Amino acid sequence: MSKTCFIIGAGFSALANLPIQSNITKRMFARKSQQINGEIIKNIFKTDEPELMSQVPLEDIFTIFDKSILSDEAIANMSKTEMIDARQRFLKGITDEFKYPGSCFHPGARPLPT
């Protein structure tokens, strides 16, 4: 069975009680289970400041992953294989955020407004 992750606009996400982009990264970096993703972003963007890391748009993160992978260039001393692995871990980290309370996909969540 395939899994799909939708990254949609904040206007829809907030209304649907889904995590908005800025909160996805903020929540990811706050969780111990997401520590590896925080380390990846810290390494790529050269910052230890959680607030700064959480302000990096997801598009910028994936642009760096994709450009590095497609051009076969090492970025932040990460090989193409490491970038592919990091991209997959980051995608899993995003989908994991939908499993936590507060997401409409979490069991027991309130119904979506109609």
Task: Output the CA torsion 45→50→54→59 (10° steps).
Answer: 20
Backbone phi, psi, residue 23, to 5°: -80, -25
How much is the pLDDT for 70?
Answer: 93
What's the pTM? 0.69
Task: Parse the chain into domains and list their residue ranges.
Answer: 13-97
pLDDT of the chain, 114 residues: tens digit per residue: 778 776 666 567 677 766 677 777 777 777 777 788 888 888 888 877 767 777 788 888 889 899 999 998 888 888 899 999 999 988 888 888 777 665 555 555 554 444
Distance CA 43, CA 12 (A): 32
Please report, for residues 3, 18, 68, 86, 108, the alpha-carbon distance to residue 92 in angstroms, rounded to integers and kept in the order given.
Answer: 10, 16, 19, 10, 22
Which residue(s) pair with 78 in the sheet? Answer: 75
